[in-house]
Structure 1
């Protein structure tokens, strides 16, 4: 997971892997000592930031040999892995990863009815769809017999709304090329930012040739509410989809039946539907190049 998603906080690792904070701390201390993982603690103006973990040299070597590869061939460099501590995108990356680890934590609750079945990083999405669109992540959620796959746009409030909304043209291009209508979920930092973003997104959506190919819903990540599966998603209405109020993540699948994934992924090549990598660690080598279905 660290190889695929670059950096995870101690809380996110607990949500992914461990039954308690105590168990996680003991294991992470050993992994740090053995140089399987490295760690850093960013400076914050108020309070204390959680420990952040990245892959270390021994961890990269273990991943390579696990797949029968020469460690020199997987493209890992410790200075690059640790360099994210100084990246301007650190908070953005941690925010995206927290969105998905929250869904994993929900999946692992004793009475869980929902399950995250796929989570692809920004880099993996770039390899597959970068010639058309660059989402922050791709996910797939199953709950109560409903299933929805989606692209995530995680807005941190620093990007111009015109740039954010213009991405809908790229999503329409991808949907037209693949014949697959994949919802776009936009996570925004505040209620006021969501209101402004919805206005810009609605205007751009109306300009598309086929807006029905790009279902869009927004939410605001207000303090204390991190549950992405809750009734928080507000669709941007079109003539084909009008329903008042905020919906649960699983309810979006019912609202947009044209975007429902098939029962099983098709066998040829790599596609949006592929879930074989799901939540397990991916192969260190990049996946196969997209076929002509993705416009190459």
Structure 2
């Protein structure tokens, strides 16, 4: 005899949750989307193709003014099959929603470029597999270094903005035979321009490997005739100090920082960058003041990059959102 029956109402919570219905990637659906995708949506497709995974926080920094509007639009893009989403498990608290490009978004990008979807080298399983990647935290953290700069450039009265942001994958295709940076960026300001490679270190590599990386940057500068500073981010002051000792004296302009060197662990614009050698005496400087650490490096011409992109690649999207964002803000 059952002496302690389970109330029926408690069983209802264990029913299988029905997945949200999403649109299939069909020609009819893409025809319908032609009237519904905004300039911001199409730009976001390109950003996800370039940078692989972006969190809801990062997407707000990039192209939205309120969290509510961002969440509403991202939900629609998910239902339309433009993006896929997942939420990593955290032992404490909850992670933001992470977004990757879905098959409909990739197909639309290919159609805009006038190429076959297969030419994009997009794979839906590979995109979804980023949810399980051991590199996820590294990739998301590195992307935040750039999205915080975009947010700075979008503020009223901003005197500069991010003009170039190349992903690690693009850098690997361009210079992978010599160096494999985690990204390349360029900031344009009223005081001038600054460009850099970023090395985002989680403290998992041997210091000898960091030294070898900087030797490779020296080789790149020699082979191209262009010297580009290398910025290195470390998780702790201890790791930064140990790395600085290991790389001191190398013939490449380097500035370092750590997560606690400024109020925001991932804001590149704050006064957090500490040069090596004689440049160390200037203390920690902002991103726009980095050229003062290396006065021998030629001043960049505004509007040009010292490094050329491959003509066989899709053009990297401009990191700042399109002008239509302000119009879409007024409509929302």
Q: Give the TM-score normalised by structure 1.
A: 0.85
The residue aligned with 2:283 is 245
- 2:44 counterpart of 1:6: no
CA shift, 1:68, in A, is 0.8
Gaps of at least 5 residues in structure 2 are 1-46, 321-332
- 2:142 counterpart of 1:96: yes
CA shift, 1:202, in A, is 0.8
- 2:178 counterpart of 1:140: no
CA shift, 1:254, in A, is 2.5
**2-structure distance, mates of 1:247, 1:178:** 28
The one-character-per-residue Cα deviations of 1:144-194 (angstroms, maximum 9, x if unpaired) are 322110000000111111111221110000000111110000001111111
| Equivalent of residue 215 in structure 1, options 229, 253, 256 | 253
Q: Give the TM-score normalised by structure 2.
A: 0.76
CA shift, 1:49, in A, is 0.4
Change (3 A) 1:264 1:104: closer
Change (3 A) 1:278 1:236: farther
Q: Tell me if the contact between 1:253 and 1:259 (Cα under 8 Å) persists in the aligned partners.
A: no
The residue aligned with 2:129 is 83
**2-structure distance, mates of 1:155, 1:79:** 27
Taking the TM superposition and a 5 Å limit, the aligned residue runs for 1:16-165 are: 16-165=62-211
The residue aligned with 2:271 is 231
Q: Tell me if the contact between 1:148 and 1:253 (Cα under 8 Å) persists in the aligned partners.
A: yes
Q: Tell me if the contact between 2:163 and 2:319 (Cα under 8 Å) persists in the aligned partners.
A: no
**2-structure distance, mates of 1:105, 1:167:** 30
Q: Tell me if the contact between 1:233 and 1:246 (Cα under 8 Å) persists in the aligned partners.
A: yes
Q: Which secondary structure does the structure 1 equivalent of 2:165 belong to?
A: strand
Q: Tell me if the contact between 1:149 and 1:260 (Cα under 8 Å) persists in the aligned partners.
A: no
The residue aligned with 1:260 is 299
Q: Which secondary structure does the structure 1 equivalent of 2:178 belong to?
A: coil
The residue aligned with 1:173 is 219
Report the count of equivalent residues: 267
**2-structure distance, mates of 1:59, 1:14:** 19
Q: Which moved more, 1:167-176 or 1:246-255?
A: 246-255
RMSD: 2.0
Q: Tell me if the contact between 1:156 and 1:188 (Cα under 8 Å) persists in the aligned partners.
A: yes
The residue aligned with 1:287 is none
Q: Tell me if the contact between 1:117 and 1:278 (Cα under 8 Å) persists in the aligned partners.
A: no
Larger radius of gyration: 2
**2-structure distance, mates of 1:269, 1:244:** 32
Q: Which secondary structure does the structure 2 equivalent of 1:35 belong to?
A: coil
Change (3 A) 1:269 1:109: closer
Stretches of 4+ moved more than 4 A in 1? 266-269
CA shift, 1:201, in A, is 1.4
Change (3 A) 1:133 1:269: closer
